[in-house]
Structure 1
Amino acid sequence: MRLSCAAYWRMLCRALAAQGWALVRERPHEAGGAGGDSRLPGGPWPRDWSLLWTAALRRTGEAAESLAALDAAARARRTNRGPYDDAPLAPELLGALARHAPAGGPAITVRHLTGHHERGSFAEMLARHGGIDFSHPAAWRETHSYIRWTPAAVRAHGDGFPVAQLFGPMSARQRLAKRIALAPPVMKVLCRFGYDRSLAGGLAAEVRRTPAVVLMHFADESPGLADAFRGGARIADYWLHAASAGLALHPLSVLMQHDAPRRTLQAQLGLSGRLFFISRVGRPRTAFPPAPRSPGAADHRTV
């Protein structure tokens, strides 16, 4: 969640910089840490809110980049879970993506898996461990609660995963079959017969056909809040740059959200520190709809 907040913050800062606002200073607020008290003073916000990050900006009037180009990249930036072209990506493009990083901050390494053998090894790991989220009842109930099965549900909630975004276009019969199979009580039974392994195997097969997998890791094994915010900024910049180049991403979070497979993967690939981002990268063969977003007025408070 901190990485997601940080990615949003990076995009907001770039949008402000494109309109002549310069970032003067930033400060993390880590509860119980050296960053200071994370509690908010009284004001027009919920009592249980806490500070993550504060910043000061100054109006300069000089645009740091094109706002129109940034807006186009942000609109093109979306998760695409469909198949990608298997043609190799140009080394120059991958090199530019790896170098495109915000100045300062902690040491972050970007690595691309492009060789057949290393992508195959990663896919094998995914096939072995990628079913964890499906076979863990509590984890799957939480994920399932965000699947939106109808356009009306998408409009009503303003968040989550439209079913077409997860599985692409489907007939009414296919949608009903998916809805039954993925219901938590049914999933619990199906996993006893290996359905979770089947789903993980399908995802691993897509990885084998994907031209590149990107991994990002901190040099520090125990990153703090400031590290997380720099990492989120790195994700945002990478994704925007990739979108501008016509590439799509499909994050594969399961292997880093569970410590055992994450440590195994890091040892297998020789990655030090802490892995914090994994994604397929490629040119999508099909377009996926953007994720739903609730109205901005519902998520922002003006003080």
Structure 2
Amino acid sequence: MTGSPTSAPRPPSAARRVPFEHALREAADIAALSPSSHNCQPWGVAWPSGRGARRAAERLVEEAPAGGPEAPDSTSGESSTGGGDTDEYVILALDRERELTSLPAHAVEMLVSCGAYLQILLRSLALQGWSTDRIRFVEPLADGRTQKAYDACRPLGDTWPKSWSPLCAVRLRRTDEPVGTLAELRRTALARRTNRAPYRPGAVEPAVLDGLSAPSTGVAEDAGVTVRHLVADSERAAFAGLVARHGGRDFTHRQAWRETYSFVRRDEAEAQARGDGFPLSQLFGPLSTPRRHALRLALAPTTMGVLRHAGYHRVLARQLARVVRPTPAIVAMGLADALPGVEATVRGGARLAEYWLRATEAGLALHPVSVVLQHDDVRKELQDRLGLPGRTFFVSRLGHPLTGFPRSPRRIGARAVRTI
């Protein structure tokens, strides 16, 4: 892009930048509560503040996705208008140092996690008066590279983290009439958590399920996501049977289980200190010290390598199936394309975040059963058995919990934010 110094967009004045910086850090604190596989929190968000960085972000926002048509100007359908020095930008990235890589399916899970984060981040910013004006996604080229993105971000120089892969750039503009309050969103995000305890056997009201499936806003507005609630006894029995047969697959996959176990923390204190992963109490509920030590030893990769020959992984699968079977509803979410791109997958994650927040507000809990999606043969069997179209990317128990469950630890929100 060329232009005279006088025609180039001016960076926001200090008086305007400070309020946005405060809003971004407030939003990041709430978005840090987003769900992610293994609680690995693989997201990063960059805030361009220098002149060169802002120009690079502007170019990334203004350009159409690689190999694709011009994207809509706004997630709300409004046309873009000149924002002058009131514009702000954020760039969502996948942090390669925090991503899961042991299974091909993890590539989808990581983008879904980043999409959930983005939905809550932008919703938090909107509640502070910063609305999303335009989003541009970075799609990989045919050979899987994202050279276009790196070319656009090259002016950022050494300030762009080398482990971050850009997913999309967002332009935000000041608005005066936010709908809702930040305190309400923060309360809901804090209350949202994975609850692996038993759920009440009573059915979830159809009107509630309809409300969870209602159209979404923000990044999730254009998500091509199907939401299917499995409530018939035959459907739930079929799902539980699948879990009983395949729920131990991860324990026998050496690389996958070693990666999973690396996120198991010794106790709650270690989990809080590290800010990610999960203690065994997140999987099994409250544990005595001797039982916690015994389980940690039994689940260690070396031990599992021996115990799988005795069928221990099948015992664990049947235990999970016994929890799944009486659950009143199973929710399955799918993307339209069997091979979704970055935009479709990130928007799918945004839709998931919106669904989970609505479920939390309705007093419902979720417990993802990801093992049936992390291996392609099992996922395809699930989709064929239950008639789920496209690419199922999320499946979970859904119901009213009988007991509470502790919240997973989180990194401080500001750790995911870089000023560039």
Pairwise TM-score range, normalised by the shorter structure:
over 0.9
Is 1:198 matched up with 2:280? no
Q: Which amino acid in structure 1 is aligned with residue 212 of structure 2?
A: L
Say yes or no: does 1:26 pair with 2:135.
yes
Give 2:117's aligned residue.
Answer: 8
1:75-94 CA-to-partner distances (Å, cap 9, x unmatched) read 11111111111111111101
CA–CA separation in structure 2 for the residues paired with 1:290 and 1:97 = 22
Deviation (angstroms), 1:113: 0.7
Aligned equivalent of 2:329, options 189, 198, 212: 212
Structure 1 residues 57 and 126: alpha-carbon distance in aligned structure 2, compared to 1, 3 A threshold: same
Aligned residue number for residue 38 of structure 1:
149
Q: Which runs of 5+ in 1 are unaligned?
A: none
Alignment pair present for 1:187 and 2:296? no
SS in 1 for 2:213: helix
Q: Any idea what the Cα deviations from partners look like across 1:108-163, whole Å, max 9, x if unmatched?
A: 11000111111000110111111110111111111011111223322332210122
The correspondence for 1:283, drawn from 400, 406, 414, is: 400
Q: Which amino acid aligns with 2:263?
A: Y
Number of residue pairs the alignment of both structures matches: 303
Check the 8 A contact 1:19/1:62 in 2, yes or no: no
Which of 237, 243, 263 is equivalent to 1:146?
263
Structure-2-length-normalised TM-score? 0.69
Higher relative contact order (CA 8 A, sep 6+): 1
SS at match of 1:267: helix
The reply on whether 1:264 has 2:381 as its aligned counterpart is: yes
Matches within 5 A, 1:73-92: 73-92=188-207
Picking from 53, 73, 97, the partner of 2:168 is 53
Q: What is the SS of the residue equivalent to 1:99? A: coil
Q: Are the counterparts in 1 of residues 215 and 221 from structure 2 also a CA contact under 8 Å?
A: no
Q: CA deviation at 1:36?
A: 7.0
Structure 1 segments, 4+ long, off by >3 Å, are 33-36
What RMSD in Å do the two structures reach over aligned CA positions? 1.7
- Aligned equivalent of 2:232, options 88, 100, 115: 115
Q: How far 1:240 sits from its partner (Å)? A: 0.3
Point out the structure with max Rg over C-alpha: 2
Unaligned runs of 5+ in 2: 1-109
Distance in 1 (CA, whole Å) between partners of 2:146 and 2:180 is 31
- Report Cα offsets for 1:193-231 as digits up to 9, x if no partner: 111111111111111111111001112111111101110
